Every structure is written in structure tokens, then in C-alpha cells.
Amino acid sequence: MERQADGTGSARRTFLAGAGAGAAAAAIGLPAAGRAAAATGTGTQAAGARAGGAPTVAVLGGGVAGLTAAHELAERGFRVTVYERRALGGKARSFDVPGSARGGRRPLPAEHGFRFIPGIYHNLPDTMRRIPFPGNANGVWDNLVAPPEMAFARTGREDLRAPLPWPGHRGAELTLDDIRRALTALLETATGIPPHEVAYFVNRVVVFLTSCAERRDDTWEARPWWDFTGAARMSHDYQRILAIGVTRNIVATKAEEASTRTVGSLLEAFLFNGLGRGADGPLDRILNAPTNEAWIDPWTDHLASLGVEFRIGWTVREVVYGDGRVTAALIEDPRGVRQRVTADHYISAMPVEHARRTWGAALRAADPQLARCDALRTDWMTGIQFYLTESAPLLKGHLNLIDSPWSLTAIQQAEHWPDRDFAADYGDGTAVNCLSVDISEWDRPGILYGRTAKQCTPDQVAREVWAQLKAALNDTGRTVLKDSALHSWYLDPGVSGLGTPHPVNDDELLIHPVGTLHHRPSARTRVPNFYLAGDYVAVDIDLATMEGANASARQAVNALLERTGSTAPRCTVTPLFQAPEPAPLRRHDLTRYRMGLRNLFDLG
């Protein structure tokens, strides 16, 4: 296998963001020296030093949470500067594979992990509709496309293939062999999970749907999904599909540890999304181009036009507290020089594992919820891309390889990019598609080397993932993935030190073991000019998602507006949909819960 060189490909994004910031600086009347500082991101100007009377806000972090906060604030007249250590978009961005471009083409596109924007999201799609995109009536939201199907890929058995119906949604085109294989998989699964186990799982879903909020936050938050579903005493298929398949492979957490409240709330939302209830759109949506082209670049360009300034390559080292408020942020600029940045307000929009390192003892003492964030846990979920010289005959949608030791999920992307000719637009002209794979399990031995992913070198990780893909997809009489069609691969550069005693992942994912809910902070802190935004902040969607990051940023902006007495309209924060039909039963369950009784349908 050929491995592409490491790198983030962020230079172009940095230049564009800097150019946009320079243009915005000119628009508000900064002198030439100030415009140059804004464009290069190396000036010493503080966020609060710009001319004008509007309050200034320093947004610490340029991922989905930080960009959302900047968007909402800029629309309300605040002067915003975003400080980002690496590249705008954070884990949601796409980036270039270094050295891969030839013949005037763009570099091969890579990503931390493939995008998944389901119809259960409401807040993020609202933001996307407000980001202009040429030719789109609904902004970048119109760049969302819906795969017509998905599959549980089984090793040694036919894959369980499922259509994703939606009004006006054209289904996948199937051959007679596709239909034969789909029926075989359906019947194998039907006979693999005994009827009494199916009935028990359905009962558990009913129990959760009819549980009051108090029971969910207390009893079910404290109980692992594995125990709630009785998985230990069930069949192998029950465990792989209904217990593990919806936890480790989707939210990168173990069924034995995952909070029933988190998993159940997710399943409830997806269930009604599939039924067309309370949804923004189809169950599964992805972007119709690499993420930066379809979303992040238009977003940051729009924010620059609103006057938002960007400092790329600036790393937050400490949020300084004194006299009852945040007085500054110590931020290391691209030259490695620490600078004291001041503003009227500060929004910490970094991932929790990075943010909590910037909170000193005095700041933590001022608000105890900050210290509780130390109990929040993260785990590894990282992407790798395989570039192919022949498109593989895969279904048009996401694959969940539920039998793979490393809990792989994947999607072949080019067929979902109708306005892109992959070979003509990217790389050296020989790669025609990109198979994007997420690795969710990094601590279990693989099938090729008998090592965990963390114990493997990057090249061994690529070979192991490729072997696991082939084991799941080339296992029932046809060759889906060919070694001869593998052009190259690229592993997320946020991972380093693989194969050594101390591997590092710069982009870990928040996970949701039992009790996590009670450690999640609110967006509003006790410090009057300091706010939190990120997927770890307490919002209605209790899951590490772009939707959670977006909703938390909206809550942070609302808290800032309230504290400043602003008359600007508040951000809308839309909760997850709950069907009204079970509401009477949830009210009845509240009475039973307060009496110390089980849910009416809970058979144990």
C-alpha cells in the first residue's frame, strides 16, 4: 500500500480565512496595519481594541460550536474574533491530502470522519439554511443529499440491507442478485433472533418511550444499555445488532457502559424520524461534495462578510480569571509568542479535553461545574480514507460492519457527489472514488496482526482496516473490494505515535457512560462574562454531535444576551422531537416513579 505524507492541508483554508478577515477589517475601517494583522493572524491586536461601540466577544475555538456562536453574535451586531489553533471547522472539516494533486487537479479530499446529518437534527440545519451558497435557495442546506439505503455488513453472512424510505425519495436500483441477497439476509436475521428476544426488545423500547423524564434522568441514566436490553442472556445476533450495533458503531461507546438514557433517546428520535414524524428531513443525509467545499468554506466566507475576524494557528493556553470575571485569554500565536487577548465576553468553544486544560484553579473555584467536567470521558473514533481506481459495487449509503473487531462504519462517497467528477477534479486522475471509514474501536485486537489499532503502525492500521473490510464484504461469493483497485490511503493526521507506548489522538470523541449527564455543564457559567459551547455542554440531544455543538452555542449566545440586557432576538433552540401520543403514559409514569414503582410496562 502507498501511504500519503502526513499533514492537515490547512494552509489554503488559513489563507482564505485570513483574506476574508482582512476584507472585513477594511469594511469596518481598520487602518492598513490592522488589516494586515487580521489577514496574517499574527498581529497583537486584542479583540476588544477595535473601533466602534458594540461589545466584543472572543470565541475560543473554531469548530462547529465556535462558528455557530460567531454566526449568531455577528447577526446581532457583536464584534467577534475567533481563535482557532489548527483549521476552521474543527473535526467537521475536510482537508487536503498533501502532495496528491497532479495536472492542475485539486488534492485528494480527506476528513476526520464522514459527515452524517440525520433528520433528527433541527438546529444545525437551521444554521445551514442561513449560509448563502450560489444557486441554492436554502443555502448550504440544499447541499444535503439522502442516501437511499444502509446496511449491517455481516462477516461470513449476507449483509442486512435496509431501504431508507422518504416521500419523494427514489430508492436504490437493485439487481435480481441484490434482491436475492437482501431476502437471504432478512430471513437469516429473522431466524437468528428468536421471537421471544424480539418481543423482549420491543418491550424495552416501549418501556423507554413511556418513561417520564425523571426516570430517564435518574434510573435509566444509571443503567447501561447492555443491562437494560438484557443482552448478556440473549443470542449472538441480538447482541451484535440490537445492543452493540447501535452503540459502539454509531456513538463510539461500549454497550456495556453506555447510558440507557443516551442510547434510548437516540433510538426514539430515529424511530420517529423513520416514520416521518418531527423530522427536518430523511433519516440519513450527507453532503454532496467534500465538507469544506459544500459547507465550511461558504460558512467562514459568510462570517467574514459579517465582520467576524479569524486568528488561525492561535492556541489558547489559559482563560485568566480575576476580580470576579474573566480578564483575558492567554493565547499563543503562530510564532509561539504568548499574547494577552482581551474582550468584553469570552466563549470557550473548544472540545472538553482541550478546554478544561485552560481553566485554572481560580476560575474553577468560581464555578464548580467546570471542575465536574474532569469526570467527562473521551475515546478514540478516527477516520481513514481509501482511494480507489475502480468504484466498488457497494450499496449507496452507510455500511455498519457490526462484526468487525474495530467497529468499522463506512461510505463510498463519489456517487453522492453528482456535481463532481472525482478523477477529473482530484488527485492524479486515476483515483475515481473515496471509501471513507470510521474506526470506533482502538483497543481490541484485529484479524491481521493480532494487535490493537493503537499498537499498530499507521501502515499496519491501514492494512488491518482493509483486511476487516474485505472480511465483511468479500465473504459471500463475490469480490467487492480488490487489492488491485487500491490507489492509496490517508489516516487522520490528528493521530500520532501509533505503534509506540504512548499514542496520541488530538481529536477524541466524547462518550456517554452511565452518569455522564450529571457532569455536563450548562452554557451559562457563574462567571458573568464567560460561557461554554461544545458537544459536552448540557443540551437536549445528549450525544457528541454537531447538532449538540450547534445547540450549545445558541444557548451560550442566549445567556450572553440575557446578561447584557440585549433586546436582540434570542436564538431558537429546538429540542429533539417527542411524539405526543405517549405523553399521558409518561405523566402516569411520573406518578409511579415518585411512588417508587416500576414503569407500567417494565417486566424486568
Q: Is pLDDT above 80 for 181? A: no
The H or E element that residue 58 is part of is strand 56-60
Going by pLDDT thresholds of 50, 70 and 90, the confidence category of residue 9 is very low
Q: Helix or strand or coil: residue 412? A: strand
Q: Is the Cβ–Cβ distance between 329 and 60 less than 8 Å?
A: yes
Alpha-carbon gap, residue 231 to 223, rounded angstroms: 13
Q: Is the Cβ–Cβ distance between 156 and 425 less than 8 Å?
A: no
Going by pLDDT thresholds of 50, 70 and 90, the confidence category of residue 170 is low
* CA dihedral sign, ordered 135, 136, 139, 145: negative
Which residue, chain included where needed, has cell 472585513? 24
According to the model, what pLDDT value does residue 31 have?
29
Going by pLDDT thresholds of 50, 70 and 90, the confidence category of residue 456 is very high
**Tens digits of per-residue pLDDT, 368-403?**
999 999 999 999 999 999 999 999 999 889 999 989
* Range name among 24-28, 118-122, 268-272, 387-391 with the lowest pLDDT average: 24-28
According to the model, what pLDDT value does residue 186 have?
58
Yes or no: domain 11-92+290-375+515-564 corresponds to CATH 1.10.10.10: no
Q: Is pLDDT above 90 for 327? A: yes
According to the model, what pLDDT value does residue 476 have?
79
Q: Where are the domains of the chain?
A: 11-92+290-375+515-564, 148-192+381-507
**Tens digits of per-residue pLDDT, 267-291?**
899 888 888 888 899 989 999 999 9
Give every CB contact of residue 418 below 8 A, 6+ residues apart in sequence: 145, 288
Burial of 32 (0-12, 13-18, 19+ CB in 10 A): exposed
Q: Is the Cβ–Cβ distance between 168 and 179 less than 8 Å?
A: no
For 471, half-sphere exposure in the C-beta direction (CA atoms, 13 angstrom radius) is 18
Mean pLDDT (the chain, rounded) = 87
**Strand 345-348 with 530-532, pairing:** parallel
**Nearest to 457, CA basis, from 497, 504, 502, 509:** 497
Three cell numbers, residue 440 = 470506533
Q: Is pLDDT above 80 for 82? A: yes
According to the model, what pLDDT value does residue 168 have?
59
* CA dihedral sign, ordered 420, 422, 426, 429: negative
**Over residues 99-127, mean pLDDT:** 95
Considering the segment(s) 148-192+381-507 as one domain, its CATH architecture is 2-Layer Sandwich (3.30)
According to the model, what pLDDT value does residue 491 have?
97
According to the model, what pLDDT value does residue 158 have?
74
**Strand 315-322 with 408-412, pairing:** unpaired
According to the model, what pLDDT value does residue 187 have?
54
According to the model, what pLDDT value does residue 35 have?
31
Burial of 484 (0-12, 13-18, 19+ CB in 10 A): exposed
Q: Is pLDDT above 90 for 188? A: no
Region of 276 on the Ramachandran plot (φ > 0 left; ψ -120 to 50 alpha; else beta): left
Using CA atoms, how far residue 503 sits from 132, 211, 506, in Å, is 40, 42, 10
* Range name among 80-84, 238-242, 325-329, 353-357 with the lowest pLDDT average: 238-242
Amino acid at 367: D
Q: Is pLDDT above 60 for 32? A: no
Residues pairing with 145 in the sheet: 286
Stronger pLDDT, 580 or 520, i.e. the higher one: 520
**What phi and psi, each to the nearest 5 degrees, are found at residue 401?**
-85, 80
Count Cβ neighbours within 10 Å for each residue of 345-358 and write b for 16 or more, e otherwise: bbbbbbbbbbbbeb
Amino acid at 305: S
Note whether 11-92+290-375+515-564 and 148-192+381-507 share their fold: no
Count Cβ neighbours within 10 Å for each residue of 186-207 and write b for 16 or more, e otherwise: eeebeebbeeebeebbeebbbb
Q: Helix or strand or coil: residue 124? A: helix
Three cell numbers, residue 113 = 470522519
Instruction: Please state, for a pLDDT cut of 90, what percent of the chain lies above it.
Output: 71
Q: Is the Cβ–Cβ distance between 301 and 12 less than 8 Å?
A: no
According to the model, what pLDDT value does residue 167 have?
62
**Tens digits of per-residue pLDDT, 477-509?**
889 999 999 999 999 999 999 999 999 999 999
Q: Is pLDDT above 70 for 191? A: no
According to the model, what pLDDT value does residue 237 have?
87
